[in-house]
Amino acid sequence: MVDEETFAQLIDAVDRFVEERLIPAEPRVEAEDEIPPEIVSQMREMGLYGLTIPEEYGGLGLSMSQEVRLVERLCRASLAFRSLIGTNLGIGSQGILMDGTEEQKAHWLPRLASGEVTASFALTEPDYGSDAAHIRTSARRDGNDFVINGVKRYITNAPRAGVFTLMARTNPDDPGAGGVTAFLVPADAPGLELGPPDRKMGQRGAKTCDVRLTDVRVPQDAIIGGPRNEGKGFRTAMKVLDRGRIHISAVAVGTAQRMLDEALRYAMERVQFGKPIVEHQLVQALLADSQAELLAARAMVRETAALYDREGRAQLEASACKLFCTEMAGRVADRAVQVHGGAGYMAEYPVERLYRDVRLLRIYEGTSQIQQMLVARQMARRAAR
C-alpha cells in the first residue's frame, strides 16, 4: 500500500508512459507481432513488473485497490503490453507470494519484480481447460525428486518465461483437485520444450504456446510452499485465479475506456447528414450505453478490490466482477466498431484491432460461463449457511 500522494505520482508517470511510448508503438507491435525490445526494457526500467510484489522483495507493494487503478490506466494501451508483465503481476508470481516458502520468495520475487525473470502459469492442458481439477500432467515421486510428464496448452508468456508455476498430478489415485500439486519449474529444466508460438485472433505481440514436459526432474523443494504442500496445488491455483479475476476486470475497464474514447473522437469528427454523428440520437445511444456500463464496471472493480484488501478474499464478487466487466468490454468493443461504421472494420483504425484483442477477456482465467457457475455456487453456499 503506497500513500495517496505518491500513488498519484505513480499514476501520472504511467499515464505519460502510456501516451508517449506505448500507444505510439501499437501499430509496430501489430505489424511485427512482437513488442520492440526497447519498449520491453523501458517497461522494466519503469518498474512495471513489480507493481504487486511487496517492497521488501523489490516491488512497489500496491494494494489491490491501487493495482486496479493503475492497471486500468496502463490498459488504455494495447493489451499486449499488459500481457508482457501480466503474469509477473498476477498468475505467475502470486502463487509464490501467497503460499511459497521464505526461500522461494527470496529467490524468485526480486527477480520477478525487476523483470529479470518472467514467470508463467501453466494449468491448462489440451483436454482440461475449464475442468482444471482433472488435469493429467503427472508428477511421479522418485526419492526426493518428482518427475513430470505432460503437455500444457495456451501458456501465456511461455516463450519468455524463466520459471513456470506449474500444476501437476502427484497422486494418480486422486483424479480430482486433491491430487494436484503446484511446482516451480525453471524454463531451462532438461526435458521442458516449447511448442511453436500460437497463432491467435488478436493481442498480437502477446505470446502463448504449448509447454511439453518429458521426464522433467525437479526436487521436492520445487513444490510451492515446500513438500508439506503436496496435494494443495489446486487450492493455490484457485486463490491465484480469484485475485487474477479482479485484475482482469480492471484490464477490461481500461481497454473499454480506450475504445469508448476512440468511438467518441470519431463520432465528433465524422459528419453525416450535415452534422457530426455524435449529434444523431442512435449513435448517442451507443455511446451513452457504453459510458453507463463502463462507469458501473469501474465502480464494481474498485468495490471488489476494496473488499479484497479488507478481507483477503472476494470469491463471489471477483467472479461476478470478471463476468460483468469483460462482457461489458465486449459490448463496448462491438458498439465502438459500430460507431465507426465501415471505418471500424478497417485496420487503419485502432478499434478494429481492439475489438479482436478484447475477445479473449471473456475466455481466459475462467470463461464467462465458468464465472456464472462460480457465482451461483457461491450464492447457494452462502444461503445454505
| Positions marked active-site | 365
Which residue(s) pair with 385 in the sheet?
none
Of 6, 41, 214, 369, the residue at the interface with other proteins (CB under 8 A) is 6
3-state secondary structure of 154: strand
Of 1, 16, 130, 275, the residue at the interface with other proteins (CB under 8 A) is 16
If one asks whether residue 19 binds other proteins (CB under 8 A), the answer comes out as yes
| Closest-CA residue to 206 (of 91, 78, 326) | 78
User: How many other CB atoms are there within 10 angstroms of residue 278's CB atom?
Assistant: 17
Which residue(s) pair with 244 in the sheet?
none
Q: How far is CA 263 from the centre of its chain?
A: 25
> With CB under 8 A as the contact rule, which of the stretches 2-10, 80-88, 120-128, 354-362 interacts with other proteins?
2-10
Distance, in Å, from the CA atom of 153 to the CA atom of 155, rounded to the nearest integer, reads 5
User: Residue 90 Cβ, how far from other proteins at the closest point, in Å?
Assistant: 17
User: Residue 17 Cβ, how far from other proteins at the closest point, in Å?
Assistant: 6
User: Residue 13 Cβ, how far from other proteins at the closest point, in Å?
Assistant: 6
Phi first, then psi: give them for residue 143, nearest 5 degrees.
65, -125
User: Residue 45 Cβ, how far from other proteins at the closest point, in Å?
Assistant: 6
The secondary structure of the chain in percent helix, strand, coil, rounded to multiples of 5, reads 60, 15, 25
Whole-Å CA distances, 159 to 93, 209, 241: 17, 7, 21
Distance, in Å, from the CA atom of 90 to the CA atom of 139, rounded to the nearest integer, reads 24
User: Residue 265 Cβ, how far from other proteins at the closest point, in Å?
Assistant: 14
Q: How many residues contact other proteins, by CB under 8 A? A: 22
User: What DSSP character marks residue 57?
Assistant: G
Q: How does strand 119-122 pair with strand 163-169?
A: parallel
Q: Are 197 and 32 in contact (CB under 8 A)?
A: no
User: Residue 10 Cβ, how far from other proteins at the closest point, in Å?
Assistant: 5
Find the binding residues for other proteins in span 193-252 (CB under 8 A).
Answer: none
Distance, in Å, from the CA atom of 335 to the CA atom of 352, rounded to the nearest integer, reads 11
Find the binding residues for other proteins in span 27-86 (CB under 8 A).
Answer: 42, 45-48, 50-51, 55, 58, 60
Of 1, 9, 215, 269, the residue at the interface with other proteins (CB under 8 A) is 9
Say if residue 117 is exposed, middle or buried (CB neighbours under 10 Å; 0-12, 13-18, 19+).
buried
> With CB under 8 A as the contact rule, which of the stretches 13-21, 217-225, 325-333, 355-363 interacts with other proteins?
13-21
Chain positions contacting other proteins, by CB under 8 A: 2-3, 5-6, 9-10, 12-14, 16-17, 19, 42, 45-48, 50-51, 55, 58, 60
